Structure 1
Amino acid sequence: MELFFLYFFLGFLLFILLSLQIVFYKNKSIFFSANLPPGRTGWPLLGETLEFLSTGWRGHPEKFVYDRMVKYSQECFKTNILGEPVAIVCGATGNKFLFSNENKLVTAWWPDSVNKVFPTSLQTNSKEEAKKMRKLLPQFLKAEALQRYIGIMDTFAQRHFANEWENQKEICVFPLAKRYTFWLACRLFLSVEDPDHIARFAGPFHLLAAGIISIPIDFPGTPFNKAIKAAELIRKELKLIIKQRKIDLAEKKATPTQDILSHMLTITNENGQNMTEMDIADKILGLLIGGHDTASVVITFIVKYLAEFPHIYNAVYKEQMEIAKSKAPGELLKWEDIQKMKYSWNVACEVMRLTPPQQGAFREAMTEFTYAGFTIPKGWKLYWSAYSTHRDPKYFVDPEKFDPTRFEGNGPAPYTYVPFGGGPRMCPGKEYARLEILAFMHNVVKRFRWEKLLANEKIIVDPFPVPTKGLPIRLIPHNIDE
């Protein structure tokens, strides 16, 4: 027994020494580079990952950045997140530096958890996969191309409210918002709209979203393990859809331009090769995540803020009813109608300022450089945070106040309002999100007023901001002659 404990102790000591050696070599710039940003790197292996994530779990995601800006530097500080040395750049100047130096000094970076959830990114790397996606998307997600989808979005919104909201006294907004954005993405990206078909892989999506940016511990029950299993289930279903689409294309039952899936199946690379089914499944999976979670978060918080500020609701209602009254019976929304929804979009923008669906994003230093007088070593990760500007009184007067008029005229100063990122890596789905959000707003205020059932429902970030109880509301349908 004593010999067993001796071996156990020696094995444990060896594990600790190896772990420290890995940390040392991975972070040796911390020990040898001069003039690094101020800050702390936390525990071996874990760094400050738990503090970074737990501030969101506790409902105060901005606290990690704010506390360290006060303690170390308003411009840049160092930490260690997800096993990587990270320089967090702050303020509009930091955003401008990162966005304007994309592919010059910095490049995109995703944690290992993302690469393991998407296996095809391991065959090349996540940076190359992102470049491929950005070449595929413009013709489908730019404003001109999306105009033909507005009627479909309006139809889906009408169907959603008829099936899920009408004849209900009370509902939970967040799960229904997720259903709306996911079904719409399935229709526009895959031409799939059969409820039973969609339901087979709709369920795992919240597990995938919750675990994709998490500590990459692949043990049963961990968020990361659940995300991997969820991705596998969704990928299997997508492969069945892909196989059927190949048949439909061959038999002329589908066209090469009807949606993103057909486009991916028919294009070839510079060597004349088609994308593999696994490659297409991973890319569609990434698109569904992007078109599902962030928009559903924005929609949920629009409902929340409109309930809290009746005068804001009234202004949105007035704008939307002017559009509704200009339509013939049964006539769907058009591009011209969307352009008239200026105040409604200002409301959505103010929602994203106070509750950004994307908290920030990582980059990687391609070479050693100097920023704000500090040395950023090659290979270090950098992170920008929407919270470093969105609630800063230096950029927004009375920043805690909900005020859509901030976005009138020229709007906020450059690089201060960044819910979609910026520079070459600005979210390519920005215009798509604008249209589906406005289609939702138009249809919801035409039908209802509402009241929150929980006055002070807690908001957490995991990794997107969500109300812990799903935002339950009481619906008040409009009178027919109102």
Structure 2
Amino acid sequence: MDYNFYIFFSTLLAIFFTTTILAVFFRAYKSKSDEKSTNLPPGSFGWPIIGETFAFLYDDHEKFVGERMKKYSSKIFKTKILGEPTVVLCGTAGHKFVASNEDKLFAAWRPHSMQRLFRSSYQKAASTVIPRISEMHVSRAPGFLRAEALVGYVGQMDAMVLDHLKMYWDGKQVVEAHRLSQLLVLTLATKFFMGLEDHGRIDKLVDLMDTMMLALHTMPVNIPGTVFYRAMKATQAAREIFQSFIKEKRAAIASTGNKVHDVLSYMISTPDPGTGKFMPDNEIADKIMGNVAASFNSPAMTTTFIVKFLAQRPDIYEKVRLEQLEILKSKKSGEPLNWEDMQKMKYSWNVALEAMRIIPPLQGTFREAAKDFTYQGYTIPKGWKVYWTVSTTNMNTEYFAAPEEFDPTRYEKTSLPPYTNIPFGSGPRICPGKDYARLQILSFMHHLVIRFKWELVNPNCKITGGMNPFPVDGLKVRLQAQPLPA
């Protein structure tokens, strides 16, 4: 019996490897044929199946793109990443082309790992193109992210930031800035998107979200020990927390009759205008989890790296502190920040822009070609993935003198050309939460520099490469309390 099973298993294994090898050669042959028959951009697909995925994910991103720009073209090149034939559009011309042709030539597309993390069992569609459903729900929720709504959030956000600093920073000698930035950002997001204020559940969600973020751009290999496997487990646990809270929220709405206070209430209470049907809880959970995740990683990274650069540049720290003290002097004791105060924080926001230029919280994003199109004289076939990357402009000496230098005043000296530093994207798909993110970043900077001075515990803290850079040691900082003005 055992011998027969061995023969059977060996035969199956031989068939599997033979089929795989034949498939690889067939696809390689087909790719060569396609290249001969189509005027594709220059570049290399790399290894069979995996292409250049590992270099794309784990090498320094600027190096990955820069080397291929020098070798093939400074405007466009082809590669194969995450299992997909992909063209990379470079420079301001590439950024402008994508922004100008959204919903004409391009459809939104997310890597397969991201699709699987944020797609629960109710979604059966085979399409890999992701519609902008989560963004639509945020924008459709009555004025949620518009300026007139954000004006009303400032005071509450200011109070929450101050409470966070008193709870987790005051009286501490050393703190982990990255972890605390994540906690603050998620505390704000779950409050304003969902009305969730349960610190126990928020603490759990921070750890789960952090695990998920590590697998947003990776190979979706769901076997024990892989980053993706851990992320899938974390996603399921996070989804259960969201679904539990949705049930509580639905019951509260039913008992009080109050319908719209946040995005989650809107999604529960408002039927789809096309079908007239209400969304089931599992679908709401996925969409609200997508919204919260979108507002989690990039703002937390930006806040973390602002802490890093201000520690490294005491001169810039002092200028930020001076600006914030001037604002504080204009306030009555205990009076919260308001919208007008935020508009006065020009230098502080330039510091944030410079931090996002030097270490972009997201290196780029994907689209899918909705039809064949021509760019720079080359044909990009329908279905191919299109990737635009910020590193081709952020560190370009044509736009930024001495690009390696951290210099917030560069935004005062000259007007930058469009499509150079675009941390929130551009065009129709520009991040709908960019103004919300600006408020939370500036609120944090205001209270942080007024209350503390700090230094890096490890000045040589390593920052990972790849799509989502983060500090390996969590960016530990040693705090020194600053006397508050009388």
After TM superposition, the score normalised by the length of structure 1 is 0.94
- 1:105 maps to a residue whose letter is L
> 1:241 maps to what in 2?
245
SS of aligned partner of 2:215: helix
SS of aligned partner of 2:409: helix
SS of aligned partner of 2:222: coil
Q: Within 2, Cα distance between the matches of 1:6 and 1:160?
A: 60
Q: Equivalent of 1:17, from 14, 19, 22?
A: 22
CA deviation after TM superposition for structure 1 residue 6, in Å: 7.6
CA deviation after TM superposition for structure 1 residue 3, in Å: 6.8
CA deviation after TM superposition for structure 1 residue 479, in Å: 2.7
Q: Is the 8 A contact 2:134 2:288 kept in 1?
A: no
- 2:327 maps to a residue whose letter is I
> 2:138 maps to what in 1?
136
CA deviation after TM superposition for structure 1 residue 410, in Å: 6.5
> 2:56 maps to what in 1?
52
CA deviation after TM superposition for structure 1 residue 185, in Å: 0.8
**Deviation per CA, 1:203-254, whole angstroms, max 9, x where unpaired?**
211111111221011111211122211111111111111111111111117x
> For 1:461-476, what aligned pairs fall within 5 Å after superposition?
461=465, 463-476=467-480
Q: Is the 8 A contact 1:353 1:390 kept in 2?
A: yes
SS of aligned partner of 2:477: strand
Residues 48 and 395 of structure 1: is their aligned pair in 2 closer, same or farther, counting only changes over 3 Å? same
Q: Within 1, Cα distance between the matches of 2:216 and 2:58?
A: 16
Q: Equivalent of 1:263, from 230, 247, 266?
A: 266
> 1:84 maps to what in 2?
84
> 1:432 maps to what in 2?
436
Residues 190 and 28 of structure 1: is their aligned pair in 2 closer, same or farther, counting only changes over 3 Å? farther
Q: Within 1, Cα distance between the matches of 2:33 and 2:151?
A: 50
Q: Within 2, Cα distance between the matches of 1:204 and 1:297?
A: 16
- 1:323 maps to a residue whose letter is I
- 2:73 maps to a residue whose letter is S
> For 1:282-301, what aligned pairs fall within 5 Å after superposition?
282-301=286-305
**Deviation per CA, 1:415-441, whole angstroms, max 9, x where unpaired?**
111211111111111011100000000
| More displaced stretch, 402-411 vs 306-315 | 402-411
CA deviation after TM superposition for structure 1 residue 136, in Å: 3.4
Q: Is the 8 A contact 1:358 1:420 kept in 2?
A: no
**Deviation per CA, 1:282-313, whole angstroms, max 9, x where unpaired?**
11111111111110100011011111111111
> 1:320 maps to what in 2?
324
Q: Within 2, Cα distance between the matches of 1:379 and 1:19?
A: 20
Cα RMSD between the aligned structures? 2.1
> 1:98 maps to what in 2?
98
> For 1:172-251, what aligned pairs fall within 5 Å after superposition?
172-251=176-255
Residues 441 and 394 of structure 1: is their aligned pair in 2 closer, same or farther, counting only changes over 3 Å? same
SS of aligned partner of 2:241: helix
- 1:133 maps to a residue whose letter is E
Q: Is the 8 A contact 1:134 1:428 kept in 2?
A: no
> 2:464 maps to what in 1?
460
Flag structure 1 segments of 5+ consecutive residues without an equivalent.
Answer: none
| More displaced stretch, 222-231 vs 430-439 | 222-231
CA deviation after TM superposition for structure 1 residue 10, in Å: 5.0
Q: Within 2, Cα distance between the matches of 1:278 and 1:4?
A: 42
CA deviation after TM superposition for structure 1 residue 110, in Å: 1.0
Residues 216 and 28 of structure 1: is their aligned pair in 2 closer, same or farther, counting only changes over 3 Å? farther
Q: Within 2, Cα distance between the matches of 1:20 and 1:152?
A: 60
- 2:265 maps to a residue whose letter is S
- 1:97 maps to a residue whose letter is F
CA deviation after TM superposition for structure 1 residue 155, in Å: 1.0
Q: Within 1, Cα distance between the matches of 2:27 and 2:248?
A: 47
- 1:333 maps to a residue whose letter is L
After TM superposition, the score normalised by the length of structure 2 is 0.93
| More displaced stretch, 129-138 vs 188-197 | 129-138
- 2:447 maps to a residue whose letter is N
- 1:256 maps to a residue whose letter is K
**Deviation per CA, 1:371-408, whole angstroms, max 9, x where unpaired?**
11111111111100000100010111111111112222
- 1:134 maps to a residue whose letter is M
CA deviation after TM superposition for structure 1 residue 5, in Å: 10
CA deviation after TM superposition for structure 1 residue 114, in Å: 1.9
Q: Within 1, Cα distance between the matches of 2:103 and 2:355?
A: 31
Q: Is the 8 A contact 1:210 1:463 kept in 2?
A: no
SS of aligned partner of 2:136: helix
> 1:154 maps to what in 2?
158
Q: Is the 8 A contact 1:33 1:377 kept in 2?
A: no
Q: Within 2, Cα distance between the matches of 1:356 and 1:387?
A: 8
CA deviation after TM superposition for structure 1 residue 194, in Å: 2.1
SS of aligned partner of 1:384: strand
* 1:388 and 2:392 aligned: yes
SS of aligned partner of 1:311: helix
Q: Within 2, Cα distance between the matches of 1:455 and 1:24?
A: 50
**Deviation per CA, 1:257-284, whole angstroms, max 9, x where unpaired?**
2111101111111221111111110111
CA deviation after TM superposition for structure 1 residue 409, in Å: 7.1
> For 1:383-422, what aligned pairs fall within 5 Å after superposition?
383-408=387-412, 411-422=415-426
